[in-house]
Chains A and B, each alone.
Chain A
């Protein structure tokens, strides 16, 4: 349950793991349960396919979207808005922090690390077993640890987001689940969610370790695979 997660949810992972798609879907679902929801786009590494591109759509749904103080999706400047502090400090907010990929992207998070005391936040590590850099448990651990070190924040949950875009099958998700379980066991971090496209999620076997989290694709255009 999204409501069982801590007020501040931080989403990290290897770039291309699907953090933004998960973050946007999470914020949309959360808004159906809570009134004050903010989606904070902290990605200053990659300038394409960031959650801020969907700001207008999300704001219509009543989600506050915070990114750079410089408007425009094409601004090639690593600037973060001071507004980011608002949902972090204001406890009436439920916040989703969409962090940039890799340890490089997690660096931005470091400046807020003093606000994330143990038990007050969740940090979800998004894992995609179809990405070459996180296909083995050793490589996944290395990414996770380096992200934790750079961000100075500890991961509290694993999100299995193993997919092949629009051609994702149950096998993809279950292959990722095997990896997620190994990672979970090695690091004693629970699997929180098992993400899949809605039409795949309905065919997943019951009793998976972690809650099934069906998503829609917000970031892929109609003509993309």
Chain B
């Protein structure tokens, strides 16, 4: 298929349908409403179901039900709506069901604003709901990568029976960019027949999907099993893009839209003779901690750039293990950092002024 021009939110819908998703349950919220609108228009054409739920909480529980029946299913929202879904996400993780959740982040806390932000990093990577669980978090930085990660995200969810979250921001959702739809690398996906609740037909015992274990021994065993799964995900699914880190005097860590702005800043700095590297985590959980071990030992410092007041900053500090000073530049409230702000900070780190 030739390249077409699509808005991020539309591209999510098209990619999900391409990946075989036939069920969408959601509730509109700016800046991702084009996605439910797209699904409402397109899913019936392929024999799927779009349902606008009465609330985000209802929507995520419909996802729980559809995933339990073995369907490829998705929901989407933006920050305050994702907060409402947290209870359901915890249940889905506990019951080990595959699904895709899209968060096009906007400014917070509370209702915040409709402009782009990255303020839900903690919520996404640390678990916004209760319990010792993890969600695979994928952070695209352009619309093409958004499409690719949506398609692969469904496979990751099925492979590990775990929710996968696409953590975008309003800018990615609203931005128009060229995309093409490519087949992802083939994964061995386990069959679903031995656990889905699709009717016994009188031939087998009922499958039970549940996150309640009243016996502490059983719940501990369940948690140990979950942790073993998370260990495998950490081992197999880390994705990161890095640039020139073995040689850099300053390394910038940034993801999503912010990484785009950082790349523009790096090109300008290179023209002025500075050696600047980039670590762009594509999976925010599992986090690419090991990538930071490859950084030039003479590096003067790591600059974390985010559209928040410092959240991924914690993971960068964990990854750096005190080997380099870690600095931060962030804009928040819907403000988007400019290349010039970043250039300025890098020069100050380089000059030992910070």
Contact = CB atoms under 8 A, between A and B. Distances in A.
Nearest to A130: B5
A225 B177 contact: yes
B223 interface: no
A47 B260 contact: no
A223 B264 contact: yes
Contacts of A76: 30, 114
Chain B interface size range? 20 to 34
Nearest to A128: B5
A4 interface: no
A21 to B, nearest CB: 10
Interface string A117-132: 0000000000010111
A203 interface: no
Interface stretch (B17-25, B168-176, B229-237): B168-176
B5 A164 contact: yes
A47 B4 contact: no
A90 interface: no
A132 B6 contact: yes
Contacts of A222: 264, 339
Interface in A38-62: 46-49
A16 B176 contact: yes
A149 B6 CA distance: 25
The B interface is mostly helix, strand or loop, or mixed, namely mixed
B300 interface: no
A20 to B, nearest CB: 11
Contacts of B174: 46, 48-49
A128 B14 CA distance: 19
A46 B33 CA distance: 10
Contact of B4 (A49, A73, A130): A130
A222 to B, nearest CB: 6
A47 B264 contact: no
A163 B177 CA distance: 11
B4 A131 contact: yes
Given A47-B31, A48-B31, A74-B113, A16 B170 contact: no
A74 B178 CA distance: 26
B94 interface: no
A153 to B, nearest CB: 24
Interface of A: 15-16, 46-49, 73-74, 76, 128, 130-132, 135, 163-165, 167, 221-225
8 contacts: A74-B115, A131-B4, A132-B4, A164-B5, A165-B176, A223-B339, A224-B175, A225-B142
Given A76-B30, A225-B177, 9 more contacts: A16-B7, A47-B30, A74-B334, A76-B114, A128-B5, A130-B4, A132-B6, A167-B178, A222-B339
Give 3 nearest A-B pairs by CB, closest first.
A48-B174, A223-B264, A130-B5
Interface of B: 3-7, 10, 14, 30-31, 113-115, 142, 170-171, 174-178, 260-261, 263-264, 334, 336, 339
